[in-house]
Amino acid sequence: MNKINGIYIALIITLFSCEPDDICLESYDDTPKLIVRFYDEITNELKPLRNLEIISTETQDTLFFNEVDSIPIPLNHKENFTSLSIKINSYSADANIDNILIDYTKKPIYTSVGCGFILNFNINSFIIEKDQNNWIKNYNIYKSIIENEETRHIEVFH
């Protein structure tokens, strides 16, 4: 009888000492954003932009930046593309909008029970809609695989 009580006590202690695996800790990575850096088209040096506005053409969500030389852009998780309007000098009379389309494939990565999946992306193309006054003169896909936010992915020359 003493052995059975000992087994029950050991079983109860074991069950109560376990923690559920449904907590998503902050140390887990999140789905990375696309990092875009802006360069001077002549000198190839970093060149900040002022009053930059990024507008998603699908959702109309807007990001605004005062003065930046790089920006993080969240990509659309539901589609294999993201369509954006990028406006410079957004509060002045010489505001200029360029429309871009980023085409990519998604790669789901399982992290844990609590966190579920994150997405990594592979950029297939970066298309600038041509108009009479494009402020984006050229671009370079520096790193096509988006698996973290530690480096730039797209270089935009203006």
| String of DSSP letters for 61-91 | -EEEEEEESEEEEPPPSSSSEEEEEEEESTT
Q: Give yes or no for a contact between 59 and 50, defined as CB atoms under 8 angstroms apart.
A: no
Predicted TM-score of the model (pTM): 0.81
pLDDT tens digit sequence for 54-104: 999 988 899 999 999 999 999 999 999 999 999 999 888 889 999 999 999
pLDDT digits (tens, 9 = 90+) for 29-40: 789 999 999 999
